[in-house]
Amino acid sequence: MASASRRAHIGALDGLRGLAVAAVLLFHAGHMRGGFLGVDLFFVLSGFLITGLLLEELAGRGRIDLVAFWGRRARRLLPALAVMVAATLLLAWAFAGPGVLGSALRDAPWAAAQSLNWHFIGERIGYWNASGTRLFAHLWSISVEWQFYLVWPLVVALAGKGRGGQRRVALVAVAGAFVSLLLMIRLGAAVDTTRAYEGTDTRAFSLLLGAAAATAPVRHAVAGLSRTAVDAICLPLLGGLLASWVLTSRETTPGLFQGGMFAHALAGAALIALLAHAPDGLAGRAVGGAVPRRLGELSYSLYLWHWPVYLLLPRPLPWPLGGPAGSGWTVTAIGLSLLAAVVSKVAVEDPVRLRAGWATGRRGWVALAVAGVMAAGLWAAIPRPQPGAGTVDVSRLGQL
């Protein structure tokens, strides 16, 4: 089994991220109706990787430095997010209609507070119908992950101490996953499934199943499997995940909120645990090919940038009125998203995460506070659209 510190660098897991983000990009362009399930795989991967790192630190040091953990997460994720939000607000002010700009200005503080999912739920903004006019609609999932990062390390620090700690963490994760499933089944029966889809409690099972897969009981369960056995299990699992993305018909698929998404997350967790155990098998090499691996390395910034690009890039008619976006528009939109993601990674993410001394320790928190003040100043300086000043130009918008 690969150590927790190496998991983030296993090519097969990077490749899974790449496949997941590709599915999301195609879904938002109207070409893969079940591609939104790629977000579910992101959650499972996050739960697996973060829990593995936490357990490794707990085993090595006897405790988890929570402040340092949250600092690393902030340094890894917040700079790119802040740059994207600021740039998107400026682009919306320059090119978008008043409705889109007004929504973006209202949503931005909630994005900064990592609670955008609950903001959308509270405002009863239907994810499947109304999000096509919200430039930050995709950040609901980033908010869910941040909320998990705040709470789950505390749970691991308490439950993981002492003899049998990893077994307790696994039990807590599995129990929490089933509670989350029950909540989704109950809330997913509503006409509007936004609450079930975006709620941190209802989506926690994906993160928790990934967390359980990182614990010693699961590692020991797969440790005796040969590479051939791993391939014999992984290839059908991978095929099933890909088939679900193609065959799922958006949120109307029967059973999706009654256990379908849970089954998808469970299959993803099993696949991740097996690939981490034997990443050099046939399945690992297939998933960890150069293209999906490179996409996986860009997945965070690509996910951040693709949705604003999709909404701000003009097209003749929004999906579904005009059918899926044409191939020319799709290639252009994905190409611009990739360009923005590469610039973000090279100019923002990597320098802060790997080289910038000012981004570490107390200086890092000071820099974060200064950046927050500057972002708030930009948000306050952008002129607010006057109520009723024009209507949204639907020819410029995409539909989720």
Percentage of the chain beyond pLDDT 70 is 90
Confidence of residue 378 (pLDDT cuts 50, 70, 90): confident
Q: Is the pLDDT of residue 366 over 60?
A: yes
How high is the pLDDT of residue 105? 94
Give the residue ranges of DSSP H helices in the chain: 4-7, 11-28, 37-61, 66-95, 98-112, 116-122, 127-130, 140-159, 165-187, 194-198, 200-213, 216-223, 227-247, 260-277, 282-287, 290-297, 299-312, 327-344, 350, 361-381
Q: Is the pLDDT of residue 218 over 70?
A: yes
Considering only CA atoms, which of 181, 226, 219, 173 is closest in space to residue 201?
Answer: 181
Q: How far is CA 234 from CA 262, 285, 291, 308, in A?
A: 18, 12, 20, 35
Is pTM beyond 0.85 here? yes
How high is the pLDDT of residue 55? 96
Considering only CA atoms, which of 40, 81, 73, 333 is closest in space to residue 198?
Answer: 40
Residue 394's φ and ψ, nearest 5 degrees, are: -65, -15
How high is the pLDDT of residue 269? 97
End-to-end CA distance of the chain: 39
* 227-276: pLDDT as tens digits: 999 999 999 999 999 999 999 988 888 899 999 999 999 999 999 999 99
How high is the pLDDT of residue 328? 85
What is the rounded average pLDDT for all residues in the chain?
Answer: 88
Considering only CA atoms, which of 152, 191, 187, 148 is closest in space to residue 58?
Answer: 152
How high is the pLDDT of residue 321? 37
* Amino acid present at 216: A
C-beta atoms surrounding 161 within 10 Å: 15
Considering only CA atoms, which of 187, 334, 200, 180 is closest in space to residue 266?
Answer: 180
Yes or no: say if 304 and 383 are a contact pair by the CB < 8 Å rule.
no
Considering only CA atoms, which of 345, 264, 280 is closest in space to residue 20?
Answer: 264
User: Could you give the count of Cα atoms lying within 13 Å of 103 in the half-sphere of its Cβ?
Assistant: 21
How high is the pLDDT of residue 381? 82
Q: Is the pLDDT of residue 87 over 60?
A: yes
For 310, the 3-state DSSP assignment is: helix
Confidence of residue 129 (pLDDT cuts 50, 70, 90): confident
* 5-28: pLDDT as tens digits: 444 478 899 999 999 999 999 999
* 102-119: pLDDT as tens digits: 999 999 999 999 999 999
Task: Report the alpha-carbon distance of residue 278 to residue 285 in Å, rounded.
Answer: 10
Residue 209's φ and ψ, nearest 5 degrees, are: -65, -40
How high is the pLDDT of residue 66? 94
User: Could you give the count of Cα atoms lying within 13 Å of 292 in the half-sphere of its Cβ?
Assistant: 19
How high is the pLDDT of residue 387? 63
How high is the pLDDT of residue 47? 97
Mean pLDDT of 77-88: 93
Task: Report the alpha-carbon distance of residue 173 to residue 125 in Å, rounded.
Answer: 30
* 334-364: pLDDT as tens digits: 999 999 999 999 988 888 877 666 666 677 6
Task: Report the alpha-carbon distance of residue 205 to residue 213 in Å, rounded.
Answer: 12
* 284-338: pLDDT as tens digits: 999 999 999 999 999 999 999 999 999 999 876 554 434 456 788 889 999 999 9
